[in-house]
Amino acid sequence: MVKTVGLIGAGAIGTVLAEAIEQKLVNCDELVVFDIETTKVEKLRALVKFPIKTASNIDELLATNPIVIVEAAGQGAVREYYPKLIASDAELIIMSTGALLDLQLTPKVHFPAGAIGGLDALLAAANAGINEVTLTSRKSPKVLFKSNTQETLIYEGFAEEAVKLFPKEMNVAATLALTVKPVKVQVRVISDPQITRNTHEIWVKWHYGEMQLKFANQPHPDNPHTSALAAWATIRLLQDLLKHKEISQTLF
């Protein structure tokens, strides 16, 4: 059986994924890529020696019967293709988690931790009861399309609104919201000209104590809106799903 991985989006994250497959960090036989910007796909194909197939639309990608499909194209792509994706036989890895807050999830929909970690601890705490979750994200003014020369709070509210106002920067807020649901995640976005890394600080008050988590990630060199850790978290999740598929096929 040919192990096919589908990829929607040939940008920075898609490139890291393709390179990981070429380096055999991901065990699959072929990669099928769809991006509405065909020049990105051609650039990706020229970058790696691993054979990449191109799909001109979502239906062509689905027709290759991928075991897992990775979405790395943005919230708009998730909303547009979601009905067809969940109707397929593929397991789905959704990176643009902001779109998932408005959609009905199924067991085949998976999302990586992205630019943060500690989701296992949050899931454990949620069983006992979480009272409050606050996310404070700091990014450079350039990434946030600001020109401030001093640290400036540019947003304070809840995750559901934050992901709409900052669709490229606040998927991390959506990931937290999906993890601790129905608890509301409070979000603070700070434009800080002094930082060189995308920084996320998470404070959690739960039934038996408090948690403080901090992540300072290098922006991806090809896309400053995305932390490099987000791409590698996706690769780790893809490894796990493919391995689980192998075990399932062996047993059944």
Task: Pick the catalytic residue from 110, 200, 207, 225.
Answer: 200
What lies within 8 Å, CB to CB, of 22 at 6+ separation is 48, 49, 50
Q: 220-223: long-range contacts at Cβ-Cβ below 8 A with a sequence spacing of 24 or more?
A: 220/12, 220/13, 220/16, 221/12, 222/11, 222/12, 222/15, 223/11, 223/12, 223/13
E strand spans, the chain: 4-8, 30-34, 52-54, 68-71, 91-94, 109-110, 130-139, 152-158, 185-191, 198-206, 209-217, 219-220, 223-227
Q: Token pair of 12, please?
A: 């920075």
Which one, of 200, 237, 230, lies nearest residue 68 by Cα? 237
**Distance between CA atoms of residues 137 and 174, nearest Å:** 13
Q: Quick one: which H or E segment has residue 57?
A: none
200 is catalytic: yes
50-61 in b/e burial notation, b at 16+ Cβ within 10 A? bebbbbeebeeb
Q: Sort 140 into a burial class: Cβ within 10 Å, 0-12 / 13-18 / 19+.
A: middle
Q: Is the bond into 224 cis (omega within 30 degrees of 0)?
A: no
Q: Which residues have a catalytic role annotated?
A: 200
